[in-house]
Chain A
Amino acid sequence: GQQVMQIPQYQHVQEGEDFTTYCNSSTTLSNIQWYKQRPGGHPVFLIQLVKSGEVKKQKRLTFQFGEAKKNSSLHITATQTTDVGTYFCAANSGYSTLTFGKGTMLLVSP
């Protein structure tokens, strides 16, 4: 099935610093989704990218899909303590099954 590698596994930043997590696949992806899971919570959908080279923004979050549709990134500008959580990328494999990356746990110190 589809596999996506996500790095880094963990990042600890000071509030106000930027943060980026990367997702890579050895095969071309039809689309990629990003989710955020707060500690003790469940994954919440952030965005889906479909087009080659696509860039989408949500306030301080910028999502990119590579030209070859094999990689994606999520960048947070000027992190806040509310950004704490684990960020997962996920790709469709098979009909509608989502395969999740291992996630990047973000810790933000005030």
Chain B
Amino acid sequence: GAVVSQHPSWVICKSGTSVKIECRSLDFQATTMFWYRQFPKQSLMLMATSNEGSKATYEQGVEKDKFLINHASLTLSTLTVTSAHPEDSSFYICSAPADRSWDYGYTFGSGTRLTVV
């Protein structure tokens, strides 16, 4: 089945620093990658949609200069949280439509728990 590998699983960083999160599709080509954030006991909120070779599309209210998304190849998409602050602490998770998504749905990475201190 389709697998999306997400790294790191967790990261603690100091306020003001930047953190890069990577999502790789291991056995399929992810033309599109969705980035979500999830606060404790809440639903997944779509942040942005990245398409290979083009600029990401951000949801309303998401700062594109703060959450930099790069989708340089069909197997790699990255999210960089720039100048992180404590309010950016959250669970970030990527997702891509698998081949035959009507049977296999969307494949999620394992998520990155970001804590900004």
Contact = CB atoms under 8 A, between A and B. Distances in A.
Contacts of A41: 110-111
Contacts of B110: 41-42
B28 interface: no
A63 interface: no
Given A35-B105, A43-B108, A97 B43 contact: no
Interface of A: 31, 33, 35, 41-48, 50, 88, 90, 96-103, 105
- 5 shortest interchain CB distances as A-B pairs: A45-B105, A42-B108, A102-B43, A100-B44, A42-B111
Contacts of B97: 96
Given A88-B43, A99-B46, A103-B43, A48 B102 contact: yes
B110 to A, nearest CB: 5
A100 to B, nearest CB: 5
Contact of A44 (B101, B102, B108): B108
Given A42-B93, A48-B102, A105-B41, A97 B108 contact: no
Interface of B: 32, 34, 41-44, 46, 49, 93, 95, 97, 101-111
22 contacts: A31-B102, A33-B105, A41-B111, A42-B109, A42-B110, A43-B93, A44-B108, A45-B107, A48-B105, A50-B102, A88-B44, A90-B106, A96-B97, A96-B101, A97-B46, A98-B46, A98-B95, A98-B106, A100-B44, A101-B43, A102-B42, A103-B43
Contacts of B109: 42
